[in-house]
């Protein structure tokens, strides 16, 4: 389908959009948290991808390429809205070096999602970019304009808070 797009065939554009739009939308929505804004970013992302399709090199898949475009556009939107990625103090009661025994917990995806929704935005975004979108911490730091150490701390704290919320709600073994 990418080759069809490169040749200007509308069926290629439609096929790629239909194949990847839902997954890309979900990634965007997890970051921006607002349906209308997520839909706008989705459209902008596919327009940008299709405009640049001539330079696409097939090295990692179209899905990954368009998702990266969408994530970058989502982060740009958050910056425009002046959503500040807060640099948190290391000493707010969480020891980021303490090991977490994740194997003590049994839980469902739904319960994890509920816990994730309760996190402060900076923790939630870092966790989603790192765990769900599989973006390296160094790249997350660059994308969000924060220190790499802050990304590491926020990821650890997000993970700790999720496990604590699950434990508080009785979802442990």
pLDDT in tens, 78-128: 777 654 444 444 444 444 444 445 454 455 667 777 888 888 888 988 998
- CA pair distance 28, 98, nearest whole angstrom: 32
At the topology level, CATH places domain 2-80 in Rna Polymerase Sigma Factor; Chain: A (1.10.1740)
pLDDT at 14 over 80: yes
pLDDT at 17 over 90: yes
- What pLDDT, on a 0 to 100 scale, did the predictor assign at position 157? 92
What integer pLDDT is reported at residue 82 of this predicted model? Answer: 57
pTM tops 0.75: no
- For the record, the structure tokens of 25 come out as 């939308």
Between CA 71 and CA 23 the distance in angstroms is: 12
In the predicted model, is pLDDT for residue 173 greater than 50? no
Q: Where are the domains of the chain?
A: 2-80, 102-168
Q: Do 126 and 155 meet the contact criterion of CB atoms below 8 Å apart?
A: yes
The whole-number average pLDDT for the span 34-45 is 91
Please tell me which residue, 162 or 112, carries the higher pLDDT value. 162
The CATH architecture one would assign to domain 102-168 is Orthogonal Bundle (1.10)
Q: How far apart are CA 127 and CA 89, in angstroms?
A: 18
Alpha-helical (H) ranges within 7-136 are: 10-32, 35-51, 62-80, 109-117, 121-127
pLDDT band at 18 (very low <50, low <70, confident <90, very high): very high
Name the pLDDT band for 48 (thresholds 50, 70, 90).
very high
Cβ neighbours around 90 below 10 Å, total: 12
Mean pLDDT of the chain, nearest integer: 80
């Amino acid at each position: 389908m990418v080759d069809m797009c490169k040749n200007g065939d509308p069926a290629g554009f439609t096929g790629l959009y239909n194949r990847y739009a839902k997954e890309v939308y979900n990634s965007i929505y997890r970051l921006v948290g607002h349906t209308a804004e997520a839909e706008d970013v989705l459209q902008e992302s596919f327009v940008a991808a299709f405009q640049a399709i001539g330079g696409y090199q097939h090295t990692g898949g179209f899905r990954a390429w368009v998702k990266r475009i969408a994530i970058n556009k989502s982060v740009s939107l958050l910056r425009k809205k002046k959503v500040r990625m807060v640099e948190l103090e290391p000493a707010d009661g969480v020891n980021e070096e303490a090991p977490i025994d994740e194997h003590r917990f049994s839980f469902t995806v739904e319960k994890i999602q509920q816990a994730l929704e309760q996190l402060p935005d900076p923790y939630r975004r870092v966790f989603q970019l790192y765990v769900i979108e599989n973006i390296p911490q160094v790249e997350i730091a660059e994308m969000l304009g924060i220190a790499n150490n802050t990304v590491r701390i926020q990821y650890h704290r997000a993970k700790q808070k999720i496990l604590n919320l699950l434990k508080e709600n009785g979802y442990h073994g």
